[in-house]
Amino acid sequence: MPALIASSEPAVGSLQRRWLAQRVVDDCPRCGWSGYFDQYLATIDGDWSSTVCDNCYADLHPGITVTVRFFAARSAGNKEPFAVIRERSRSDHRYPDLGEQLGWRLSWEHTTVLAEEARGECDHDLTQIGQGDAERIAASLAGRYWPPDAAQLPWVQHAYPP
């Protein structure tokens, strides 16, 4: 991984953000994000074995305030949600992110559902929910589609990392 780093920002305590020379596919062990790391990743105590995504960097940075909202997504006519969506707003960014969805794959991935809802083009029923409800839905999805130990994944137990 160090060979993919273009430059590094000064450390803030044990936290250090790294600029990527190219985008990479990775998983964030803290929040469960799975996908492309486009511009940044961060290390804690210089540990390259568990690099965290830029959203977790913001969560851990003492100078950045992060606000999170959760939504349940249902298909029309269904009672059971097919996904939980979390949206983060950061004090260092002008707009909230597009949203991340946790569905049957049990990893958080980008979704366009919140943008579609804002434009009036969403085919799904979205309801804003609290973190407790988000965690119950995530546990239900884990129970439906995965072996029992999947419910123990940190990002299933805690829809937003502590």
The answer to whether position 162 is within a domain reads: no
Model pLDDT, residue 49: 87
Mean pLDDT, the chain, rounded, equals 92
Same domain, 7 and 53: yes
Same domain, 80 and 138: yes
Domain end marker among 26, 41, 60: 60
pTM for this prediction: 0.85
CA 68 – CA 72 distance, rounded (Å) = 14
Model pLDDT, residue 162: 79
Place of tokens 């299933």: 156
Domain end marker among 35, 60, 85: 60
**Does the pLDDT of residue 147 top 80, yes or no?**
yes
**Does the pLDDT of residue 3 top 90, yes or no?**
no
Domain range spanning residue 152?
66-157
Same domain, 47 and 70: no
Q: Which amino acid is at 138?
A: A
